[in-house]
């Protein structure tokens, strides 16, 4: 196993690595600075787009451009012009909330949750954006939405409220995009001060989760037991995604500055995007939004 720096761009709050198999490019975001980044598999040709608001996540669209979950709702992003256009704000009356982590299901629907910006109150919710641009609430009572991802067959949806100390599993209706039967998939080891952040599922159906503030990546087996732990060179790891031509490189985003004063600082490699090679594990292709 080799851990390398892919891009030292010092993102204030790096998040959401997204490997696109069509373009063979890696995308990621800076949530606080409101930017979308893109580069090649080996970290070259870095480009950035400013989206003018805090951004929680993004998804590429089948017909070009992207869907972005911004502080004030779901928007489209035109990569050619840089223009962002509002689709829908699901929480117009909750000024202290913002949209956060999200991903696309196997059928092309975008699922993203919101969070309380102080990470204290259960004011957030989980939403699904359908290809017809309608928005549907799936769950609520969430402090900080993170780590959405699906089993290889798409029938199990994984998700975490970061400060719950758990990763949850839901039954996922692939026909309707509905969720049911929420249960605890894994209990997170928070003894090192960390909490579950971004996540992905590999080709074997194992769940990889970034333990933010603890500097660890954890691979959970399908029964929720810990299969593997990787110690990272920085503490504030935020999310993970497999990519590269063979989907066998694990890309890891990090933050350069903690969002609140109570969270710890980090070393000189903070804010970098890392690439972990020779893991002997492959990921799954990420879907594009069908709308």
The catalytic residue positions are 197
User: Per the annotation, where are the binding residues?
Assistant: 15, 98, 100, 146, 197
> Which parts are annotated binding residues for a divalent metal cation?
15, 146, 197
- Long-range pairs of 33-40 with CB within 8 A, sequence gap ≥ 24: 34/70, 35/11, 36/66, 36/68, 36/77, 37/7, 37/9, 37/11, 39/6, 39/7
User: Which residues lie across from 104 on neighbouring strands?
Assistant: 110
Cα→Cα distances 209→60, 69, 234, Å: 22, 21, 15
Binding residues for substrate: 98, 100
Q: In what order do the strands lie in the sheet with 249-254?
A: 2-7, 273-277, 249-254, 237-243
HEC readout, 62-110? CCCCEEEEECCEEEEECCCCCCEEEEECCCCCCCCEEEEEEEECCCCCE
């Amino acid at each position: 196993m080799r851990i390398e720096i892919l891009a030292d761009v010092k993102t204030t709050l790096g998040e959401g690595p997204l490997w696109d198999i069509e373009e063979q490019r890696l995308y990621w975001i800076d949530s606080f600075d409101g930017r979308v980044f893109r580069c090649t598999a080996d970290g070259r040709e870095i480009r950035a787009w400013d989206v003018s608001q805090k951004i929680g996540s993004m998804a590429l669209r089948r017909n070009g451009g992207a869907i972005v979950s911004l502080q004030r709702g779901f928007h489209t992003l035109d990569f050619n012009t840089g223009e962002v256009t509002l689709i829908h704000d699901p929480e117009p009356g909750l000024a202290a909330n913002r949209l956060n982590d999200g991903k696309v299901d196997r059928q092309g629907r975008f699922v993203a949750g919101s969070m309380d910006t102080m990470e204290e109150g259960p004011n957030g919710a989980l939403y699904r954006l359908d290809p017809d641009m309608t928005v549907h609430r799936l769950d609520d009572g969430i402090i900080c939405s993170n780590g959405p991802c699906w089993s290889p067959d798409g029938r199990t949806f994984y998700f975490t409220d970061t400060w719950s100390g758990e990763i949850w599993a839901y039954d996922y209706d692939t026909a309707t995009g509905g969720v049911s039967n929420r249960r605890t998939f894994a209990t997170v080891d928070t003894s090192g001060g960390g909490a579950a952040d971004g996540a992905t599922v590999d080709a074997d159906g194992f769940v990889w989760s970034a333990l933010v503030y603890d500097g660890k990546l954890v691979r959970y087996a399908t029964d929720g037991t810990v299969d593997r732990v990787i110690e990272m060179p920085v503490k504030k790891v935020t999310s993970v995604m497999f990519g590269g031509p063979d989907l066998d490189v694990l890309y890891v985003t990090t933050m350069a500055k903690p969002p609140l004063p109570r969270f710890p600082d980090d070393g000189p490699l903070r804010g970098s995007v890392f690439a972990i090679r020779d893991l002997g594990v492959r990921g799954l292709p990420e879907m594009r939004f069908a709308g």
